[in-house]
């Protein structure tokens, strides 16, 4: 059968349809946006690479007068083709995309102006009378983007007939603002506030859009659609754009972007030719891997199921099809790093940061309500609710819908392995961990099942590679990270380490899966004492704790399923400082 193509990098509906690209039909949400959003100025927030730009393109193609002749080509076979609304092909649509605006505070004004000029230029190519001439679009004529926008909106309003209006699409409205926020909070205030000493670059721009919204007065704009990652930027301009409504958490829009499990299954059926892949690779295996890496998102407490990050899924499948084998573990990622997460967490108080990071490491849900608004120009540091909100909107956390419904208050968890790894990398950085050369652990994964090389490598890491200042606040969590790092960064791909592994009877410190034939799996319970607390009694107490925990964990069905037919070796290890003072195999 003919397969649809996965076209990575294309975010416009017309390009995808013209190129026989895979397209999951989300057009039913056009009708829902018109009739169920409760606003003409919806703001729709999702993490990066979640399909927001394609949604914006879908709306552009549907509503733009210029696209009317392309309606058949763009929408035939979709839900909306047979359920067309009266507003189809009835607006002049201008489409702003701020993903290319510089996050350098010294360049942002000019970069923002150039981006706005480019969007107005594209509009003017199709609607020269309602747009601006090339001479009028010269950025050098304007001090900022708001001046150019004002000229455009004034000209548009003067050159349309009664009943003709503008539909404004703003994609990635906060992309550059979020980048600025993580690097320089004062620079963020400068673009979102008009208080004395601040330029208010964003605030002025949105205030001008508000002024031309016909819901406030006779004007040129009838509808908006705004996408972004976080509400922080709009909340921080306060009255500058108080006409918008955040629809992101309404359950009816939970699945507007991203893939449901059925949708991912459809994508695989339509794009992957299994005759070109290894014989033992099945659709079920691929879905399982993608569930671990890219699934887990929910954006409403009433969500019926979790969602996949659609763009990462398409990247993964594209690599699979091209290379005819499974992509490497970390080949597909968001290009986020621990440094960026550190920048975000630096925006809150130390105790808030410590609580959040500890909860993320131990996989405990964070229970809190999201704040209604987050005006960062009114506070220097984020409180607990605000920090969780930022991490949630950026995709580091997601809603645990089942737990939230049971508790009656929103619960937040890490969505998948991609972000689990990111939090682990952040914690390694926080304790001053420095990556060593790969350890040789062949004695561990072979039938000898000797963990001595692992203990030696971990002890060496603690003693020689950690920042000395971090040893004073060293914890069992840090010890877990060291062991996990030694195993997962080792030269032996047969071993895979999992921290805080859910056994079904609690969370074990370290579980090691071994793919070597006849090799053993390992369950490690780690205990740590500072040298000042060193005593035989303290060590014995730690050993007793570890034995009780291991006895409980080994009864867990999830652990038994993970171990399968493999032999499981359980160890209690007690460290005093950098020295492993006790290593006992628990039978």
Residues 101 and 245 in one domain: yes
pLDDT at 362 over 90: no
Radius of gyration of the chain (CA): 27
Cα distance between residue 232 and residue 209, in whole Å: 18
- Does residue 288 lie in a domain region? yes
- Structural element, H or E, at residue 523: strand 520-529
Assess whether 265 and 246 both reside in one domain. Answer: no
Cα 101 to Cα 98: distance, rounded to the nearest angstrom? 5
Is the same domain home to 173 and 290? no
Q: Using the 3D structure, point to which of 226, 253, 280 is the last residue of a domain.
A: 253
Residue 64 lies in a domain: yes
Domains of the chain: total: 4
Pair 48, 168 in one domain = yes
- The DSSP symbol for 5 reads B
Q: Tokens 């067309």 label which residue? A: 84
336 falls in which pLDDT band (50, 70, 90)? low
Alpha carbon distances (Å) from 116 to 44, 471, 490: 21, 51, 49
Does residue 270 share a domain with residue 231?
no
**Counting beta carbons within 10 angstroms of the beta carbon of residue 262, is it exposed (0 to 12), middle (13 to 18) or buried (19 or more)?**
exposed
Q: Is 423 inside a domain boundary?
A: no
pLDDT at 216: 54
Whole-number Cα distances in Å, 474 to 430, 477, 480, 501: 11, 8, 11, 21
Angle at 582 between CA 576 and CA 584, to 5 degrees: 150
What is the DSSP code (8-state) at residue 259? B
Residue ending a domain, choose from 253, 269, 303: 253
Count how many residues are written for the chain.
Answer: 587
Residue 479 located in a structural domain: yes
pLDDT tens for each residue of 117-172: 999 999 999 999 999 999 999 999 999 999 999 999 999 999 999 889 999 999 99
User: Is 237's pLDDT higher than 70?
Assistant: no
pLDDT tens sequence across 511-528: 999 888 888 999 999 998
Q: Does 319 fall in a domain?
A: yes
C-alpha distances (whole Å) from 513 to each of 293, 443, 444, 561, 562 are: 18, 15, 11, 12, 8
Residue 301 and residue 342 in one domain: no
> Using 50, 70 and 90 to split pLDDT, how confident is the model at 376?
low
Distance, CA of 62 to chain centre: 28
Segment 172-201 shows an average pLDDT of 75
Assess whether 37 and 179 both reside in one domain.
Answer: yes
Is residue 137 helix, strand or coil? Answer: coil
Whether 92 has a pLDDT exceeding 90, the answer reads: yes
- pTM (2 d.p.): 0.83
In a domain, 182, yes or no: yes
Q: Are residues 373 and 446 in the same domain?
A: no
* 9 domain-assigned: no
Q: Which of these, 62, 78, 151, lies nearest to 113 by C-alpha position?
A: 151
Residues 528 and 559 in one domain: yes
Which of 234, 253, 272 is the last residue before a domain boundary? 253
Q: Is residue 152 part of a domain?
A: yes
Yes or no: say if 13 and 74 are a contact pair by the CB < 8 Å rule.
yes
Shared-domain flag, residues 202 and 114: yes
pLDDT tens track for 64-90:
999 999 999 999 999 999 999 999 999
- Find the domain containing 364 and state its range: 338-413
CA–CA separation, 18 and 4 (whole Å)? 11
Domain co-membership, 373 together with 231: no
- Backbone φ and ψ for 96, nearest 5 degrees, come out as -95, 140
- Claim to verify: residue 166 and residue 219 sit in the same structural domain: yes
């Amino acid at each position: 059968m003919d397969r649809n193509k996965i076209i990575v990098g294309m975010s416009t509906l017309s390009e995808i349809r013209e190129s026989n690209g895979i397209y999951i039909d989300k057009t039913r949400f056009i009708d829902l946006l018109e009739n169920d959003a409760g606003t003409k100025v919806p703001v729709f927030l999702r993490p990066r690479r979640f399909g927001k730009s394609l949604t914006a393109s879908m709306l552009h193609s549907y509503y733009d007068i210029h696209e009317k002749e392309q309606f058949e080509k763009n929408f035939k076979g979709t839900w909306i083709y047979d359920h067309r609304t009266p507003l189809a092909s009835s607006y002049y649509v201008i489409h702003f995309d701020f993903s290319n605006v510089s996050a350098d505070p010294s360049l942002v004004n000019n970069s923002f102006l150039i981006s706005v000029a480019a969007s107005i230029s594209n509009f003017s190519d199709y609607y020269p009378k309602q747009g601006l001439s090339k001479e009028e679009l010269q950025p050098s004529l304007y001090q900022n983007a708001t001046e150019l926008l004002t000229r455009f909106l004034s000209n548009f309003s003067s050159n349309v007939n009664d009943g003709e209006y503008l539909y404004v699409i703003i994609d990635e409205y906060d992309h550059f603002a979020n980048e600025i926020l993580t690097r320089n909070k004062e620079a963020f205030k400068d673009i979102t506030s008009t208080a004395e000493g601040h330029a208010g670059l964003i605030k002025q721009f949105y205030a001008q859009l508000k002024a031309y919204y016909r819901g406030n007065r006779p004007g040129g704009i009838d509808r908006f659609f705004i996408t972004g990652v976080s509400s922080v930027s709009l909340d921080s301009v306060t009255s500058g754009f108080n006409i918008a409504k955040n629809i992101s958490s309404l359950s009816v829009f939970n699945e507007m972007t991203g893939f449901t499990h059925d949708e991912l299954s459809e994508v695989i059926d339509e794009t992957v030719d299994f005759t070109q892949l290894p014989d033992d690779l099945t659709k079920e295996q691929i879905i399982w891997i993608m569930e671990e890496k890219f699934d887990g998102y929910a954006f409403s407490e009433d969500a019926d199921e979790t969602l996949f990050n659609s763009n990462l899924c398409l990247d993964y499948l594209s690599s699979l099809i091209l290379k005819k084998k499974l992509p490497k573990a970390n080949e597909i990622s968001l290009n986020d790093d621990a440094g960026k997460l550190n920048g975000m967490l630096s925006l809150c108080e130390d105790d808030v940061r410590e609580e959040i990071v500890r909860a993320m490491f131990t996989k405990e849900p964070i229970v809190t309500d999201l704040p209604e608004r987050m005006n960062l120009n009114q506070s220097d540091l984020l409180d607990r609710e605000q920090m969780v909100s930022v991490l949630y909107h950026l995709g580091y956390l997601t809603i645990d819908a089942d737990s939230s419904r049971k508790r009656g208050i929103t619960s937040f968890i890490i969505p998948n392995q991609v972000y689990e790894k990111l939090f682990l990398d952040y914690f390694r950085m926080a304790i001053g961990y420095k990556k060593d050369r790969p350890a040789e652990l062949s004695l561990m994964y072979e039938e000898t099942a000797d963990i001595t090389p692992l203990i030696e490598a971990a002890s060496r890491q603690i003693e020689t590679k950690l920042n000395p200042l971090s040893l004073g606040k060293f914890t069992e969590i840090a010890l877990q990270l060291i062991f996990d790092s030694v195993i997962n960064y080792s030269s032996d791909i047969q071993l895979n380490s999992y921290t805080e592994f859910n056994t079904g009877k609690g969370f074990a410190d370290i579980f090691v899966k071994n793919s070597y034939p006849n090799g053993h799996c390992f369950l490690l319970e780690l205990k740590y004492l500072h040298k000042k607390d060193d005593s035989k009694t303290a060590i014995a107490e730690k050993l007793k704790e570890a034995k009780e925990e291991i006895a409980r964990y080994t009864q867990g069905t999830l652990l038994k399923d993970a171990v399968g037919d493999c032999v499981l070796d359980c160890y209690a290890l007690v460290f005093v400082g950098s020295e492993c003072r006790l290593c006992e195999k628990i039978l």
